[in-house]
Amino acid sequence: MIKIGIVAPGRKLTLEAKEAVEEIATASGLPIEIVVHPQCFLDHGHFAGPDEARLEAFLDFANDPGIDAIWFARGGYGAARLLAGLPSMLASCAFDKVYLGYSDAGFLLAALSRLGCRYCAHGPLVADVLRTDGAATITRALGFLSRTDASGLDPNLGAIANLAFNLTILRTLLGTDWLPLNDRPLGQSVLWLEDVAEYAYATDRNMFQLANNEWFKRCAGVRLGRFSLVPENDVAFPITSEQAVAQWCTKAGVPIIGTGDIGHDADNKIVPFGLLSDWHQAGLIP
């Protein structure tokens, strides 16, 4: 039996999403037990409770040896405010857990990875159950978390190390000490990027920042996920968001090696950080 703990480092979870996921889990017959931390339903304006409550809930589950995987409830904004509380607070069992999420949860994936947690993965959030076709998304996530089904993984992971981020979250980590290690110890990483609801000029600006950063220049390549719901500006930007990513990658000398099936949508596939072979060896992927 795999025990999955759900916490909400950013926005709060709705009861509707919780119940829908529990229903799918029960119907799946998978060897899983889901525990939802009561913190997920706290309401502190933008956040699922004050910083202290969100950090405490995360540590409750991350430091519980009985929990195998932490699944982040929802994005929004809020995880960044918890990072400073992590370094001295993680118990040894926290380093062997699987962590799954994306968007704002990328702050935690980056920091946990940097601190030595080896099994962070970019993939669906609990709240994705409410998307159209969200049940299939959740079924893939549960297959992954239960270690029974690898079909939720992106098929293009390859034999190289991978990292995946929302571009806005990643650019916010530049110039801080919270970026995951890149070229060591696992070798240069392929970086998977996606974003949502950002103006094309804002994506261009974010890519300027990335392309002028040494960490990024050490990446082996970029996989281009979806840049969706790009708002129209009062004046048209001369290139698309995807072209902006490509132009800046060229300037930085980091090749675009293909697309990636990731994005803020129900199709969002799972990209485990690091080498897939390490996940296999640890028995985390069948």
Dist CA 21 CA 8 (whole Å): 15
Q: Which is nearer to its own copies, 95 or 199 (CB)?
A: 199
- State yes or no: residue 264 binds its own copies (CB under 8 A): no
Question: Using CB under 8 A, which of 61, 71, 192, 215 touches its own copies?
Answer: 215
Q: Which is nearer to its own copies, 11 or 269 (CB)?
A: 11
- State yes or no: residue 204 binds its own copies (CB under 8 A): yes
- Contacts with its own copies in 20-59 (CB under 8 A)? 44-47
- State yes or no: residue 102 binds its own copies (CB under 8 A): no
To its own copies, the closest distance from the beta carbon of 213 in angstroms equals 5
To its own copies, the closest distance from the beta carbon of 215 in angstroms equals 7
Identity of residue 177: D
- State yes or no: residue 11 binds its own copies (CB under 8 A): yes
- Residue the block writes with tokens 């082996």: 220
To its own copies, the closest distance from the beta carbon of 87 in angstroms equals 12
- State yes or no: residue 250 binds its own copies (CB under 8 A): no
Dist CA 149 CA 141 (whole Å): 9
- State yes or no: residue 213 binds its own copies (CB under 8 A): yes
Q: Buried (b) or exposed (e) across 24-63, using 16+ Cβ within 10 A?
A: bbeebebebebebbebbbbeeeebbbeeebbbbbbbebbe
To its own copies, the closest distance from the beta carbon of 222 in angstroms equals 17
Question: Using CB under 8 A, which of 39, 206, 241, 268 touches its own copies?
Answer: 206
Q: Token digits for 254?
A: 């980091």
- State yes or no: residue 238 binds its own copies (CB under 8 A): yes
Q: Which is nearer to its own copies, 110 or 284 (CB)?
A: 110
To its own copies, the closest distance from the beta carbon of 136 in angstroms equals 26
To its own copies, the closest distance from the beta carbon of 77 in angstroms equals 4
Q: Which is nearer to its own copies, 15 or 35 (CB)?
A: 15
Q: Which is nearer to its own copies, 147 or 171 (CB)?
A: 171
Sheet holding 32-36, edge to edge: 32-36, 2-7, 69-72, 98-101, 119-122, 271-272
- Contacts with its own copies in 159-198 (CB under 8 A)? 171-178
| DSSP, residue by residue, 19-80 | HHHHHHHHHHT-SEEEEE-GGGG--BTTBSS-HHHHHHHHHHHHT-TT--EEEE---SS-GG
- State yes or no: residue 232 binds its own copies (CB under 8 A): no
Please write down the long-range contacts of 228-235, taking CB distance under 8 Å and 24 or more positions apart: 228/194, 228/195, 228/196, 228/197, 228/263, 228/264, 228/265, 229/196, 229/197, 229/264, 230/197, 230/198, 230/199, 230/200, 230/203, 231/197, 231/198, 231/199, 233/199, 233/200, 233/201
Binding site for its own copies (CB under 8 A): 11, 44-47, 76-77, 80-81, 83-84, 171-178, 201-202, 204-206, 208-209, 212-213, 215, 233, 235-238, 251
